[in-house]
Amino acid sequence: MKTAKPSPDALALHSNTQGEAHDHAHDHGHAHSHDVAKGASVESALAMAEAYCRERGEKLTPIRRKVLELLLASGRATKAYSLLDEMRQIHPGSAPPTVYRALDFLLSAGLIHRIESINAFAVCHDLTQCQHGILVVCQQCGNVTELHEPKLRQALVAQIEAAGYRLAGDGIELKGLCAQCQEIQASSAGKAVKADAAAAPEAAAQSSSVS
C-alpha cells in the first residue's frame, strides 16, 4: 500500500484519535485491534482520512467515504457483498462495481487492508501511516489485529526468501480464533457436556425399563 506523510493538522488529529499509546506503536511490539471506533469517533477518523487524501492530491468522494464509514462502524473484517447490501439500504441503486471501485481506491491509498484468508476488508488501524505488520485474523468472527513487530517480520520475510519464495503482497496473515470466540466456543462445549450428563441417567433408566 502507498503511504504519505500527513500534514501537521492531520497528525494532530491522528494523535487525538489514536491516543498516547500509538506513539510507541512502530518502535515496540504492539497489537492493534481494527475496532477504530472504540478509540475515536467514526467522524473523526473520516476527517483524518479526508485530510490524508487531500495531502495525496486525491479526493475521498461520497461513495468512498461511505464505504470507509461502513468499515469503521463494523470494526472488523467485512466482505464486499455485505458492504454492498449496506450500501443498497442507503442508496438502493448501488451496483457491485461502485463498491469495488471504492474499495480499490481505499486499498491503494493505504486506508484499508484486504484480508486474503477470509476474502474481506478491514480498516488499517492507524489509517494514514500504515506500516505493514502481521495481521492475525479470527476465522470465526472476522476480527483483525495488527502486530507491529518489525524485526520479527523482517526475519520471517528473510526465511521465506531464503526458501526460494517471494511474497505476492505486503501482507502477512496468521489465522486464529480470537479470545471472545474462544470463550463462546468453550461455553458451548460446556453446555453440551452438561446436556449429555443430564441426559445420561434418563437414557439409562429407559434402557433398564425396556430390558
Strands of the sheet containing 134-138, edge to edge, are 30-33, 144-148, 134-138, 172-176
CA distance 59 to 89: 24
Q: Which helix (H) or strand (E) holds 48?
A: helix 42-55
3-state secondary structure of 30: strand
CA distance 154 to 63: 36
Report whether 141 belongs to an annotated binding site.
yes
Report whether 124 belongs to an annotated binding site.
no
Report whether 113 belongs to an annotated binding site.
no
Report whether 138 belongs to an annotated binding site.
yes
Given a contact cutoff of 8 angstroms between Cβ atoms, the answer to whether 141 and 182 are in contact is no
Q: What is the DSSP string of 79-144?
A: -HHHHHHHHHHHSTT--HHHHHHHHHHHHHTTSEEEEGGGTEEEE-TTGGG----EEEEETTT--E
CA distance 12 to 44: 11
Report whether 130 belongs to an annotated binding site.
no
Binding positions for Zn(2+) are: 138, 141, 178, 181
Binding positions for Fe cation are: 132
Binding positions are: 132, 138, 141, 178, 181
